Chains A and B, each alone.
Chain A
């Protein structure tokens, strides 16, 4: 029993060093705050007629779906020491494409129309991502500026697709994405989770993850080791584009309207935050897709909490900033040092004395 106590504390401190644990703690803290406001916050009801689950937690899960997808793609891009600022615009492009197609197809309950719209949106997302990837991989442009160009151009493209209008369409199958339930859980969340887990498995169970990380750690060394970065980079950016496109469809399917200037607006910032909260480093070479998912859930929880607490929605950013700042300050090494320095460390001061003596001798 004596032996198990130190290993437990050691394991606990080891766990606290993992950044995503702080994300989980932050989510729990936010839920507690909500519970204090309304003790029944976490209650989950079962709809008696169709057996679907309902409740605040389900709302959070539903809202987190697009962020989970985009953050998963972003975590891979960031692991290669890149960044993808274009995800929000790609979301708008995908939303605009599907809405415009469904409107012109005029098929209110056609499965094939819904599938065509999805395929077109995903293909367009892939193409936009591939263009970014090719510019980064072959031309050697900086990811930041490449995807900034794509962000500007993508937003414009979305507006061109809908001729600047906020297009509305009706299609039951497409709408099912946002409103449907499978096994009591919202389809969007299940889809996002399945896609994220699939990507995680593929990346982690193959050498793909290692190769992506090697590009982020040292591109030259990885090239010398026989890894071809160009193909990998294009794949990663294309995947980010595809995931953003799916997220865009999720975002528009709940209201079946695309707002070309608001759909996906500043989603890139949320996704980057999610990745960094989850333990990614913008310098590359770190990959924690699970952490990114935790980060995405945190941001969704944060958004919903702000609404629940009745903070005006325009002030949400300030609330977000506060949580981010607290989270990063807790993770900062010297703040931890400050908290730890109350404990005296006897071995440290003797060290310089020893060397001095040895020099004198």
Chain B
């Protein structure tokens, strides 16, 4: 193994020694990997949870459990993706309105479908309502200098309040409504007994969203602008990046994804209520943070947030399987896991700064 310099010897001492070059290479690699480390940690813990669940309770590593994990959390994955983009953009970027937007979108969607409107149009409208809410947040933040927390909080109140004026009781989707087809289970591999590998169109939508978001964040100008804004908004603006337009875009995107999540969730459950999605913004933020995105912005991965959402989902599965855990303590456990992840992130980022 040769680490000596292949170039001809140069007079003078400017040429770095082999050791210092090796050191430089190693530290550069370490620095490059440091931003992905929290995400890697999330994957490791996810795998650890699966291993623990399999050994302690059994029936975790099987097609039906893992399929259900995806099916039951498809909507969370979709909103976590939107939240990730918003948080990466920095400057206190956050979208508190996602849960309330889902409530409004699903209640109005079910009511519209019940009124006999074309179901495909209804689904489009549901996504469109989300877009409108996101656009409103974006306009408030960008053109009226309202802080993201406050702007999206106002949209959260608005969405929840409007959903409540529409209906306060569970609204059922008709049993033969085509919207339900998005939640219909498709067996890919018919396993023994009920152990089937399953998928729903909702899960496929979530996969498409994840793939699309990954492409946007890492292969397009928009993605780079979002990361640049999170690093330093002033620098991004000075570089000539379209900061204003991008803020509008990401909040609109987050709203649109909330609308999409409403379609996916409603199609699976068939019921919408004004209290649907209560507190989901916190789930989405937790998934994003667990997945390794820094709340200060500038660093994070959409794929990490997918893992974060699955960690939360798996946690619920394990708590249910355990049976001995009192329901009162579930939020304590969620809080504890969140704390472990942020402490881990903190350790990683502190080391990077040294």
Q: Identify the A interface with B (CB < 8 A).
A: 83, 139-142, 144-146, 148-153, 155-157, 159-160, 163-164, 269, 272-273, 276, 281-283, 312, 314-322, 324-325, 328-329, 332-335
Contact = CB atoms under 8 A, between A and B. Distances in A.
A317 B343 contact: no
A141 B342 contact: yes
Contacts of A83: 149
Nearest to B336: A153
A327 to B, nearest CB: 10
A320 B159 CA distance: 11
Main secondary structure of the interface of A (DSSP, over half): helix
Interface of B: 92, 94, 100, 140, 143-147, 149-151, 153-158, 160-162, 164-165, 168, 274, 282, 285-286, 289, 295-296, 326-336, 338-339, 342-343, 346, 350
Contacts of A139: 343, 346
Contact of A152 (B157, B164, B334): B334
B321 to A, nearest CB: 19
B160 A318 contact: yes
A312 B335 contact: no
A148 B346 contact: no
Contacts of A152: 282, 331-332, 334-335, 338
A321 B343 CA distance: 35
Q: Which of A156, A269, A272, A329 has the most CB of B within 10 A?
A: A156
Contacts of A312: 164-165, 168
B346 A329 contact: no
A160 B329 contact: yes
Given A139-B346, A152-B332, A282 B149 contact: yes
B161 A160 contact: no
Nearest to A306: B161
Contacts of B326: 160, 164
Nearest to B328: A159
A142 B295 contact: yes
A229 B87 CA distance: 26
A329 B141 CA distance: 11
A282 B92 contact: yes
Contacts of A159: 328-329, 331
Nearest to B97: A321
Contact of B335 (A144, A150, A273, A322): A150
Nearest to A333: B145
A152 to B, nearest CB: 4
In this complex, which of A149, A155, A157, A269 has the most chain B Cβ atoms within 10 angstroms of its Cβ? A149
Contacts of A320: 157, 161
Nearest to A164: B328
Contacts of B140: 325, 328
A112 B347 CA distance: 47
Nearest to B286: A148
A330 to B, nearest CB: 10
B295 A144 contact: yes
A317 B97 CA distance: 12
Contacts of B92: 282-283
Nearest to A155: B331
Contacts of A142: 295-296, 342
Contacts of B151: 328
Given A324-B150, A332-B143, A332-B145, 5 more contacts: A145-B338, A145-B342, A152-B334, A156-B328, A156-B332
A285 to B, nearest CB: 13
Most buried by A among B145, B285, B335, B346: B335
Contacts of B153: 269, 272-273, 324
A276 B285 contact: no
Given A156-B329, A156-B335, A333-B145, A145 B295 contact: yes
